[in-house]
Amino acid sequence: MQLDHVTIRTRNLAVTRDFFLSVFDLEERERPQTIKRIPGHWLYSNDRPIVHLIGSQGHGIDCAAEAFDHVAFRLHGYQEFREKLRKLGIRYSCMDLPEIEERRLFFRTPCGPLLEAVFAVSAHDSIDDEQGI
């Protein structure tokens, strides 16, 4: 397991993006088509998108204006991990990003913080439309 990325919600995407680009010498690149409906930016270090920024208005449940949104862990064994979540009774949602050959599972800790598991697509992984429990 390794830390994959951190996602930060912000009211001011431009200022936050510029801060990370200048302070950490990151580079902005295109985001996958699947998530372009969400305002935001992906900032890369070398060839890894390690800081994800998403726009927030700061209204409603789970929408703090300035907050760490979630932490993602890069794992191996997509089907096995998905089955483990099912067996543990942990609700999850799926996101497939075929253009970057990744699959993602989103789920919450018992007290609420959002976690993401990121998997490289392997030859034996079949993409289906099944959602989490």
pLDDT at 129: 45
Q: Which two tokens stand for residue 73?
A: 């862990």
Inside any domain, residue 82: yes
In this prediction, residue 24 carries a pLDDT of 86
Which domain does 62 fall in, by range?
2-120
**Does residue 92 lie in a domain region?**
yes
Position 46 in a domain:
yes
Q: What is the pLDDT of residues 34-56, one digit of tens each?
A: 999 999 999 999 999 999 999 88
Is 95 among the domain residues? Answer: yes
Note whether residue 94 is domain-resident. Answer: yes
The answer for 90, left when phi > 0, alpha when psi is -120 to 50, beta otherwise, is beta
Please state the rounded mean pLDDT for residues 100-126.
85
Domain containing residue 108: CATH number? 3.10.180.10
Evaluate if residue 12 carries a pLDDT over 60.
yes
Give residue-wise pLDDT tens across range 55-83.
887 666 556 667 888 999 999 999 999 99
Q: What angle do CA 69, 54, 60 make, to 5 degrees?
A: 65
132 occurs within a structural domain: no
In-domain check, residue 14: yes
Average pLDDT score over residue span 125-129: 54
pLDDT at position 103, please?
A: 96
pLDDT score of 10: 87
Confirm whether 127 is domain-assigned. no
Q: How many domains does the chain have?
A: 1
**What is the predicted pLDDT for the residue at 123?**
62
Report the alpha-carbon distance of residue 110 to residue 70 in Å, rounded.
14
Angstrom distance (rounded) from CA 51 to CA 25: 12
Q: Are 85 and 107 in contact (CB under 8 A)?
A: yes
Q: Are the C-beta atoms of 22 and 15 separated by less than 8 Å? A: no
